[in-house]
Amino acid sequence: MPTIVVEVMPKAELLDPQGKAVAGALHRLGKSHFTDVRIGKRFELTVDDVNDEVIAEVRELAESVLSNSVIEDVVNIIVPEDVAAGETH
Amino acid sequence: MAPRVGVVTFPGSLDDRDAQRAVRLAGGEPVALWHGSHSLEGVDALVLPGGFSYGDYLRCGAIASLSPIMAEVIEAANKGMPVLGICNGFQMLAEAHLLEGGLIRNSHGQFICRDQVLRVENASTDWTSDFEQGQQITIPLKNGEGGFMADAATIERLEGEGRVVFRYVEVDPNGSLNAIAGISNERGNVVGLMPHPEHAVEEGFGPDTSAAMRNGTDGLGLFTSAISRVLQAA
């Protein structure tokens, strides 16, 4: 069944303590050339049928439920190519 | 008749019984409410307690903010009922858009638990009228995601309209902007804060004071304020 992917990241201007902790661990492994790490979320929404209405619904839910616009940004919505010829964020 | 104050229990609530106890010690009648119900049981005020509702999945308070009872909580809040959100309850109020801003992981990345000094910046809300403006109180703070965030325009508006209700004193324990510990809505009936007033309501069970160990009861004032407000309105 088709899956629509929604990717959410903490707002760029906010500190991401999780990412900072991982960056610290990489640094301790000698990988300090990775100067920054940020951690976000990936949602995979499976539906029976992908159509324009469902895609619009996902865009709305991405903003209203899957993310909180005060602290996060929806950075990408990926629709399966075969059902939505080139339709991406 | 003592004002009836509802305390909503969600899956993962931890401090619901402490909040009920605080209501009782403040002279109110606690009413246990359940997240899955659509009834507020005719209560006069509401407390959304602390804890880790739904395991903090998605975002802290986000799934709880979509619970059945939240429809009634939002309706009652918009009609002026006193509503207090403590810690996870504050996160729910933010997710439900009853309060502005959002809470993110503490800037130092660690869970923090300490007795915290706060300054009452607005003593005219439904939950702070028994305090003096500028009064300092000490109540426990315990959270991992208590960093208050909002965009610059929102922060400026909250500050300008006196809607910063509590501010951290001496130390900003979690990286909150402007050391904001708690805010209110425009009307002043909805208040949310990260620290826990319900854990400082009875001598022997609160923060240490200069007089004696665990004798702090500074949290009681929030509950007596709302109860007085309900009695005045009756």
Higher pLDDT, A64 or A1: A64
Contacting residues of A for B149, CB less than 8 Å apart: 14, 70-71
Chain B: give the shortest CA distance to residue A80, in Å. Answer: 24
Pick from A14, A21, A65: CB nearest B149: A14
DSSP character string of B26-54: TT-EEEEEETT-S--TT-SEEEE--B-GG
The total of structural domains in chain B comes to 1
From the CA atom positions of chain A, what is the Rg in Å?
Answer: 16
Whole-complex ipTM: 0.84
Active-site residue identified among B87, B95, B100, B145: B87
Report pLDDT digits (tens) over A25-84: 999 999 999 999 999 999 999 999 999 999 999 999 999 999 999 999 999 999 987 655
Return the SS3 of A77.
Answer: strand
Q: Which of B93, B12, B78 is nearest to B47 (CA)?
A: B93
Residue A84, pLDDT score: 53
Kindly list the residues from chain A whose CB atom is less than 8 angstroms away from the CB atom of residue B173: none
CA dist B129 and B84 (Å) reads 14
The pLDDT of residue A89: 46
Query: Can you list the positions of beta strands (E) in chain B?
Result: 4-9, 29-34, 45-48, 83-86, 102-104, 112-120, 136-143, 147-149, 164-168, 180-184, 190-193
Q: What is the pLDDT of residue A81?
A: 78
Residues of B in contact with A17 (CB under 8 A): 105-109
Q: Which helix (H) or strand (E) holds A43?
A: strand A41-46
Residue ranges, chain B, pLDDT below 70:
none
Written as one string, the DSSP assignment of B169-184 is -S--TT--GGGEEEEE
pLDDT value of position A1: 86
* Contact between A65 and B106 using a beta-carbon 8 Å cutoff: no
Distance of CA B173 to the CA centre of its chain: 17
B34 exposure class (CB count in 10 Å sphere: 0-12, 13-18, 19+): middle
State whether B175 and A21 contact (CB < 8 Å). no
Of A15, A18, A68, the CB nearest to B102: A68
Domains of chain A: 3-78 (3.30.1280.10)
**Residue type at B201?**
V
- Domain containing B69: what range? 4-233
Mutate to test the interface with A, among B54, B57, B59, B92 (most CBs of A within 10 A): B59
CATH number for the domain spanning B137: value is 3.40.50.880
Reply yes or no on whether B199 is catalytic. Answer: no
Q: What would the pLDDT profile of B41-57 be if each residue is shown by its tens digit? A: 999 999 999 999 999 99
* Residue A82 confidence (pLDDT): 62
Of B95, B105, B109, the CB nearest to A68: B95
Any catalytic annotation for residue B156? Answer: no
